[in-house]
Structure 1
Amino acid sequence: MTALLPALTAQAKLRAHRTPDCACDAPHGVLADRPDAMVVRHADVVAKAHAPGTPEPALTARLAAAAHPGLADTLLAPLSAQPARLHDRLVTLWPYGAPVDRDDPDAAPWEEVATLLARLHRTPHAGLALPLPPMRGPEKAARAVARLRATAPHPAASPVERAWGVLPAWARDEAPYPGPPHLCHGDLHLGQLVRTPADRWLLIDIDDLGTGDPAWDLARPAAWYACGLLLPEEWTRFLNAYRAAGGPAVPADGADPWPVLDVPARALTVQTAALAITKAVAGERALDEVEETFVDACRRMAAVPPDLAPTGTK
């Protein structure tokens, strides 16, 4: 990581100013530094080093989708259609966009993100430049459970495992999604939204973009709502805006959306609880109140099998 940071910063400077040695006072800094991603900004350019081992063909197909004219009002377009390689990591370049203000939750753009999701889900994936892989939502949930199993024993792990075990195979990344596939983001939350200089909200982070169940993109806010962590009025704003924009993941006629949201929301709840326990064990600390909320939800889910809606309803 030490050698990667200056090299990544030099890439951003090179794209912004055509020199890797710029000493200007343009806005700059590290936006993210995690094992799965390092992101830096210089001026109006953002450089991202993707997770080690990221398959280049899949990332190239996802970049092509983000650059497709048919998604110009939905996804932030990359500055280059091909990833570069730095220190054995694939690197992509992007224009900078302002993120959602975490200190102003009342201004959270629920309607905007719902409308963007509906546009994404309505876009025919067959018309994109390159075939897309499956979206990585179930894969990431399965990886979270695998990490939980590899960590030291914890008393909260048992209900999480039981809740995972009652999910259908496709939601555990053990079988293909059985329904009609749609273009999906794969890891939707408010942190995946930026406002451009043209004053437009767009979705970012294509690492999990692909085809699959569009309800997965609604699953995180649905899970937070079900756990009492998202206000009913915020959930209603989000769901109503998605329906108004023609989103195909839930019934358009105002019918109960939960039969199609139940399985993905359960999977995201398990994923969140599994990661929380793993981090708590690594930090040698107790679960906090929010983390306990997700574990408690897993206890309830393990006792009640999921409501499996017919895949034709999606």
Structure 2
Amino acid sequence: MSVVRELALAARIAAHLPGARRPCPACRRDEDVSVLADRGDGVVVRHGEAVAKAHAPGTDQNGHRARLAVASHPLLAGILLPPLPLDARQVHGRPVTAWPYGAPVNPEDPDAAPWEEAAALLARLHRVDVTALPGPLPPMRGPAKVARALARMESVAGEHRAAAVVRRAWDRLPARARDETPSPVGDAPAPRGGTPSPRGETSSGRDALCHGDLHLGQLVRHPAPSGSWLLIDVDDLGVGDPAWDLARPAAWYAAGLLSPQVWQRFLGAYTAEQGPAVPADSDPWPQLDVPARALTVQTAALSLARAVAERREPDEVDQMMIDACARMADLARVGVRASVVG
């Protein structure tokens, strides 16, 4: 049986759990299931008010269980969408989970994108007391995703002329951002605003609960269609430097993909909620620089891999991220701090 067909069964079971709406809206309309995503790292199908997800092959079972327990914890109520109580099951060796359906961000209405809501949710997530959560919690997987993106680029687009540019920017990242050494976060607590690491790099100086893969596709309104915004997708959730959760919008802002006004709205909403990743009253870039450079490399590497797989040249947005990598590499070559905002 295919992954989608087995997930369809799980979604139907989840939609009919005790407490679900009766009669099931999808059954009343004689609807079966719809496929919301079908990628190598996750397949998601929907039936009525429930969705079922097959997680990536090779998912670490212990880390997966710990992340689900966090998503179900009362401390995360109103921050993370909690899973539905589906009995443990697997599809082709991949763990399966069920979740309430939430309405996603509308890609056709960029002006209504919930940047402030995303920032406020992140701040609340980062302020959760990790010692009060079930554990042990796995590390946040931000650096691992950067390394995986570079490996994908090398396997698909390693001979492309732009790959050398991305590779040079990757080479100039600190080892911790390439997932080669442990992050300095986790040492003795530091004052809010961060302290330099032994290499002269800066981190937020504290362990925090991090999402690990923040972008607007990770928010839904629940109950759909007009409930509160909540974060979804706990596959990369873990403990680490909270600055990594701000890194994608920071990288987009630095590359010119996100306007200064939207960036300031996002950052202002985060600091207004007392998010610990950056100081509220001084320059945030000492904390954001390394994660933002890493996310620039990740985005450029994946963009280039997709372009080559689709047998096309990088488009304008792809090229903006590649150009940002070039600036980072050139600044490092001449001995200037290799900031993505340089």
Q: Given the two structures, how large is their TM-score scaled by the length of structure 2?
A: 0.85
Q: Displacement of 1:68 after TM fit?
A: 0.5
Match of 1:267 among 288, 294, 304: 294
8 Å CA contact 2:242–2:277 kept in 1: the answer is yes
CA 1:245–1:279: 2 relative to 1, 3 Å: same
1:81 deviation in Å? 7.4
Q: Which residue of 2 aligns with 1:94?
A: 99
Which of 112, 115, 119 is the matching residue for 2:120?
115
Contact 1:63/1:82 (<8 A) preserved:
no
Which stretches in structure 1 are left out of the alignment for 5+ residues?
310-314
2:54 pairs, out of 46, 49, 52, with: 49
Q: Which residue does the alignment assign to 1:135?
A: 140
RMSD over aligned Cα atoms = 2.0
- Cα drift, residue 268 of structure 1: 0.6
Match of 1:205 in 2: 233
- Deviation string 1:247-302 (CA, Å, 9 cap, x unpaired) is 0000122x111111111111011011111111122222111111011111000001
1:1-314 correspondence runs (5 A): 3-17=2-16, 24-25=28-29, 28-80=33-85, 83-152=88-157, 153-179=159-185, 180-197=206-223, 199-253=227-281, 255-305=282-332
Separation in structure 1 between the aligned mates of residue 222 and residue 106 of structure 2, nearest angstrom: 14
CA deviation after TM superposition for structure 1 residue 88, in Å: 1.5
Aligned-pair identity in percent equals 61
Whether the 8 Å CA contact 1:60–1:82 is kept in 2: the answer is: no
Kept after mapping to 2: 8 A contact 1:269/1:298: yes
Offset at residue 17 of structure 1 (A): 2.6
What CA deviation, in whole Å up to 9, does each residue of 1:57-109 have, x standing for no partner? 11100000000000101111111276421221110010111111111111111
Which portions of structure 1, spanning 4 or more consecutive aligned residues, are displaced by more than 3 angstroms? Answer: 305-309
Stretches of structure 2 that go unaligned for 5 or more consecutive residues are 18-25, 186-205
Answer whether contact 2:43 2:54 (CA < 8 A) is retained: yes
Q: Deviations over 1:19-51 (max 9, x none)?
A: xxx854266411101111100010111100000
TM-score w.r.t. the length of structure 1 is 0.93
Equivalent-residue separation in structure 2 for 1:307 and 1:238 (angstroms): 25
Amino acid at match of 2:3: L
Residues of 2 paired with 1:83 and 1:203: CA distance? 23
Please state whether the residue corresponding to 1:151 is helix, strand or coil: helix
User: 1:312 aligns to what?
Assistant: none
Which amino acid letter does the alignment assign opposite residue 287 of structure 2?
A: V
The count of residues paired between Structure 1 and Structure 2 equals: 305
Q: Does the 8 A contact of 1:263 with 1:307 survive in 2?
A: no
C-alpha distance in structure 2 between counterparts of 1:146 and 1:288, whole Å: 21
